[in-house]
Amino acid sequence: MQNTVKDAILRGRKKVENVVEGGRRKVESVVEGGLDTVETVVGAGLNTVETVVVKGRKTVESAVSRGRKTVEKRFLHGRSTMQAAVLHGRQDVRIEAVPVPRAAAGELIVQVGAALTCGTDLKVFRRGYHARMIVPPALFGHEMAGTVVEAGAGVTNFRPGDHVVALNSAPCGACYFCQRDQENLCDNLLFNNGAYAEYIRVPARIVAKNTLRIPEGVPLEHAALTEPLACAVHGFEDSNPRAGDTIAIIGGGPLGLMILHVASLAGYKTISLVRHPGQVEAARQLGATHVVQTSMIRKAIDDTRALTPDNRGVDIAIEAVGVPEAWQEAVELVRKGGTVNFFGGCAANTHVSLDTNRLHYSDITLRATFHHTPAICRKALDLIASGRFQAGAFITGRAHLYELNRVFEKLMNRSSEIKTAIVP
Ligand SMILES: [Zn+2]
Ligand SMILES: [Zn+2]
């Protein structure tokens, strides 16, 4: 029997420290300096973390965080399973123990610092699926920021310890649409879900194209707003605002408020149309020049037009609710030559009926902005990092992963909550 640390551990010694203190002769000859931690043992090639974990060592986390290559496949931070939200169907999300993901070539594993609730997730929770993004049973959640804990082979621009936002999608770069700077419409948009979990795997394409390092000092829960804010910035810019324009935004949900805030930060006059009294204060705080609060569409149209010279209507109307009635309302709000952006996605198989005369003889431009591009995601994070964007105003609650069901139920009951940060 040999007196190496490895053999000592294999024989069931409880502590490496004891081995050292026990004065095993080979220890000092193999390892220079004080051999007092598991990392040193592993680093010296005397054992694998696997064996150490099996023996119940507590210091394996630090071994892993130092990027040891000998970690056995099953373990990250010394664990084989993690808690994660799994969507099983309509209003059926369960917190389950699932395998901790490990990084294959080009991938990252990110320890989730904050995952934000989102209107899309709420829709998915209510309907049980999302045709393009998620089919159950599946990991769930897509707005998050966290800390890199593992980088797969070939990843050179990120390493463990980096704070990152990994976006929920990345375009292919090769299709007709990607080649024409419409990457949001990519034929092969790769989506990633699983933010409501302790760890999330980031696919190689998203690592390469749509993962952003978070500047120092920006809280993770603020950085997690990058994804929805990118959608908002995209919708705003796509509406082609001109200096002096008045922009009406229909909807007091998270996206409506974000578009409002982006427009107001850019110096435009804004009219925020909200249904619920509880949304008025937030709209004001986020820079609305005027707030029109009513649940009656006709009144909302009249009141909004009354805020423009000669009732002519606003220059731009952005719909951020996602119901056909609001799409029709948006068309009624704009002046001759105005632009309407149907930003809110409606349920499948819904239709709207529009006054063709008004569209034609008033020369109305209709647009409908979907999703984001990598360039716009960078812009969004820059805006958050600038400190001008009131990120904190959008996070109105915090909850543990275990409370996710309760949080969604609360959001379905139309509270004045904007977003809840889910902290695993
Ligand atoms: Zn979202
Ligand atoms: Zn593409």
pLDDT at position 10, please?
A: 55
pLDDT at 415: 67
| Residues 88-126 pLDDT 10s | 988 899 999 999 999 999 999 999 999 999 988 998 898
For residue 190, give the ligand nearest its CA: 2
Q: What residues sit around ligand 1, an ion, with C-beta below 5 angstroms?
A: 118, 120, 143, 228
Band of residue 48 on the pLDDT scale cut at 50, 70, 90: very low
End-to-end CA gap in the chain: 46
Q: How far is the CA of 132 from the centre of ligand 1 (A)?
A: 13
3-state secondary structure 179-206: HCCCHHHCCCCEECCCCCECEEEECHHH
For the segment 205-251, what is each residue's pLDDT rounded down to a tens digit?
999 999 999 999 999 999 999 999 999 999 999 999 999 999 999 99
Gap from CA of 189 to ligand 2 centroid (Å)? 6
Mean pLDDT of 63-79: 53
Per the model's pLDDT, the better-predicted residue between 225 and 413 turns out to be: 225
Instruction: Supply 350's token pair.
Output: 């819904």
Return mean pLDDT, the chain: 86
To the nearest 5 percent, what fractions of the chain are helix, strand and coil? 35, 25, 40
Ligand nearest to the CA of 373: 2
Q: What is the pLDDT of residues 325-354, one digit of tens each?
A: 999 999 999 999 999 999 999 988 999 999
pTM of the model: 0.82
Ligand showing the shortest atom-to-Cα distance for residue 177: 2
**Ligand nearest to C-alpha 142:** 1
CB-based contacts of 147, cutoff 8 Å, min separation 6: 110, 111, 113, 160, 161, 162, 163, 164, 220
Closest ligand to C-alpha of residue 180 is 2
Q: Ligand 2 center to residue 131 CA distance, Å?
A: 18
With helix as H, strand as E and coil as C, how does the chain read? Answer: CCCCHHHHHHCCCCCHHHHHHCCCHHHHHHCCCCCCCHHHHHHCCCCCHHHHHHCCCCCHHHHHHCCCCCCCCCCECCECEEEEEEEEECCEEEEEEEECCCCCCCCEEEEEEEEECCHHHHHHHHHCCECCCECCCEECCCEEEEEEEEECCCCCCCCCCCEEEECCEECCCCCHHHHCCCHHHCCCCEECCCCCECEEEECHHHHHHCEEECCCCCCHHHHCCHHHHHHHHHHHHHCCCCCCCEEEEECCCHHHHHHHHHHHHCCCEEEEEECCHHHHHHHHHCCCCEEEECCCHHHHHHHHHHCCHHHCCEEEEEECCCCHHHHHHHHHHEEEEEEEEECCCCCCCCCCCCCHHHHHHCCCEEECCCCCCHHHHHHHHHHHHHCCCCHHHHEEEEEEHHHHHHHHHHHHCCCCCCEEEEEC
CA 173–ligand 2 middle distance (angstroms): 5
Joined together, the tokens standing for residue 392 give: 């904190």
